[in-house]
Structure 1
Amino acid sequence: MPLPLQGPTPSGAGKYVKITMFLKKLPNVSQEYFSAYWANNHVAPALRNKKFREKVRRYNQQHVTAENRTQAATFGLPVLDYDGVAEIWVDSLDDWISAVTDPELAAAVDGDDKNFMVQPVHVMVSFDHLILGGDEWKPYNKVDSRL
């Protein structure tokens, strides 16, 4: 029999919809190449795209190194076999669909994934239920040379 609950279930009404994508590098590229290509080459068309910049509230890349995998293994739990994770926050799923189906962006990134990552990309749609910490993050405001 399950233990009694200590409080309500999270409502699902987080501030943003969060799209999380789990990426694996191509077997013939190094982790360094994968990370550099993803952080620079692949992201540049999105950063130049007006609709992407308008619709996406936050975009974060998590890069996994061999050292990170070794560190994670010390926990004694299974380690996910991904080389990177993209986290994207949007106001609604419709906003995300609008951004990624923009014809200009679609044309700019069409087939680029073949240069550094394996398909399929695994995805998760969720909401944040903040337990500890603040909501003080700010969008990246530095003028990016890739724009």
Structure 2
Amino acid sequence: MYSSLISVIYLPCLIAAALIYPDPSMDIYTAASAIETPTQSDELVQMTLFIKKRDNLTYEEFNSYWSGPHVKIFESVPIVRQNIVKYSQFHSNVSVNLPQLGFTPAGYDGGVNLWARSLEDLEAVFNDEEYLTVVVPNGKTFFKYNEMVAMYGWEEVKWDKE
């Protein structure tokens, strides 16, 4: 599992390094080290999960259930409260005509953002018996669990006017 995860995370770093540092005299592995995942203990890692609502639900039903009852179920699991530092939801506004603005819609109805202190903390949540028997079955009632996709990495805030 770790070898495939490393290839998913490290290979894009190598490609990005080649683009950022096109100098052929620079070793690509050395260049990649400049953009590796932060290792300081006070840095947080982030996982973003992209989800699609079940076809039998309206957008209003999906968003309402996800924002309310599901959050309570998610928070009820002790490992979630212990290991997840920050949790947010991104709700897609399907009423906006993105192609008119020059963008292709992503095809997802929402995003789940989870921050933790390490990948191991996230793995502990996703492998926890109670999480698997309570949260996962509940998620399957309102989103297409088998069509969920994920990204793992870190956040770099470049500016924040708030």
TM-score when scaled to structure 2? 0.70
1:81 offset after TM fit, Å? Answer: 0.8
- Equivalent AA in structure 1 for residue 159 of structure 2: L
Identical positions, percent:
24
Q: 1:79 aligns with which of 105, 121, 124?
A: 105
Structure with greater Cα Rg: 2
- Tell me the equivalent position of 2:121: 95
SS in 2 for 1:59: strand
- Equivalent AA in structure 2 for residue 98 of structure 1: A
> How has the CA–CA distance of structure 1 residues 61 and 3 changed in structure 2, closer, same or farther, with 3 Å as cutoff?
closer
- Tell me the equivalent position of 1:49: 77
TM-score when scaled to structure 1? 0.76
Gaps of 5+ in 2: 1-18, 23-31
Give the ranges of 4+ consecutive aligned residues of structure 1 lying more than 4 Å apart after TM superposition: 2-5
Distance in 1 (CA, whole Å) between partners of 2:126 and 2:154 is: 19
| Aligned pairs (5 A) from 1:114-125 | 114-118=140-144, 119-125=146-152
- Tell me the equivalent position of 2:160: 133
Deviates more, 1:112-121 or 1:92-101: 112-121
> How has the CA–CA distance of structure 1 residues 110 and 3 changed in structure 2, closer, same or farther, with 3 Å as cutoff?
closer
Structure of greater relative contact order (alpha carbons < 8 Å, 6+ residues apart): 1
Gaps of 5+ in 1: 137-147
Q: How many residues align?
A: 130
**Kept in 2: contact 1:10–1:129 (CA 8 A):** no
SS in 2 for 1:123: strand
